[in-house]
Amino acid sequence: MTTPSFELGQDHLDLKAWVHDFAAEVIRPAASEWDEREEFPWPVLEEAAKIGLYSIDFFATQSFDETGLGIPIAMEEIFWGDAGIGLSIVGTALAAAGVSSNGTPEQVGEWVPQMFGSPGDLKLAAFCSSEPDAGSDVGAMRTRATYDEATDEWVLNGTKTWATNGGLADIHVVTAVVDPELRTRGQASFIVPPGTKGLSQGQKFHKHGIRASHTAEVVLDQVRVPGRCLLGGKDKLDARLGRAREGGSSGGKNASMATFERTRPAVGAQAIGIARAAYEVALDYAKTREQFGKPIIENQAIAFMLADMATSIEASRLLVWRAAWLAANGKRFDQAEGSMSKLFAGETAVKVTERAMQILGGNGFTREYPVERMARDAKIYTIFEGTSEIQRLVIARAISGAPIR
């Protein structure tokens, strides 16, 4: 395929309907309960596994879609159901993307299937990059990985934070510094297998939104992993570090950034799902709520808000789909199109959910209606996987070629 087409074929329409039905029948009815409990929704994940939605086969099949639209379509529908439960279903995929982006074919084949498990024997994975002092500034990362040549093991020490499924996961993918002098060029990613000594869960975070999703610190204390758990292998790492020390190109992207670039359009699609859900609630409410003897949608102030909400959602979807198509077809993001899609969709989710609350008035501020939860969930999309400010920085550098700080 050389030119994009956003006219959905039957396969995409069937995918959309299948995921939407699951979101409507299983995710939405459970959303409020798990938000209030602030616990991982194991029963919902089990149902997702039973139908094949939580499985390596599902994500692998969509990754081979040459249009790139399979994942964004599925993400939008899942998160239309609920964002907290949605992140519980797709959180493992971020770690799987980390292995796929940086690992060898043998590593992908060995570890990715173990991240999902099967119905009745569910497994989770966590991608661990951020640290207490290294969020947007990945160059400030302090977690260290030291090679023990005598045993062919890497020894990891440090603390990771904001890790989805952190500590709860069976497999952790950890980014660490192997050469501090090289900063971001001196980092690599490692797989920490199930049951590895020295890895423990630190603080579990109680969050403003996405509360059904488990987010915690991961503490690494003399964690030893076999040499084969270095993603990409030691020969490739040594060659990359050698080029960097000589002052040339390292010949590869930063391990964390490579993962985030791969997932940003999908994250944008998640934000669209939240925005669309809130918009639909507000539209239905405006058609039925009467004030001064007529439905409130007949007031321009309300109708224009809904018009802007619908327009922003459509624009966000087109940006996400274009970025997903570019990625699937190996095209360059010359204008940081991946960052554009995540930035616009994330900020759209915040604006749309806030306007939905405004349209519902006092009802929107209560937990009797879901837009209050949706507004809380939406805010994270201007923060995680690159804040809106970082996305603007990436875009500004891409369009200008200047070293903007």
Catalytic residues: 385
Q: Do residues 191 and 240 make contact, with C-beta atoms less than 8 angstroms apart?
A: no
Neighbouring residues of 245: CB distance < 8 A, sequence distance ≥ 6: 179, 182
CB 127 within 8 A of CB 259: yes
How crowded is the C-beta side of 207, counted as CA atoms within 13 Å? 28
* Beta-strand pair 125-128/171-177: parallel
Alpha-carbon span 234 to 111, nearest angstrom: 18
User: Helix (H, G, I), strand (E, B), or coil: what is residue 389?
Assistant: helix
DSSP 164: E
**Contact between 158 and 146 (Cβ < 8 Å):** no
Residue 321's closest CA among 1, 2, 8?
A: 8
How many Cα atoms occupy the beta-carbon half-sphere of 349 within 13 Å?
Answer: 32
97: closest CA among 280, 258, 326, 270? 258
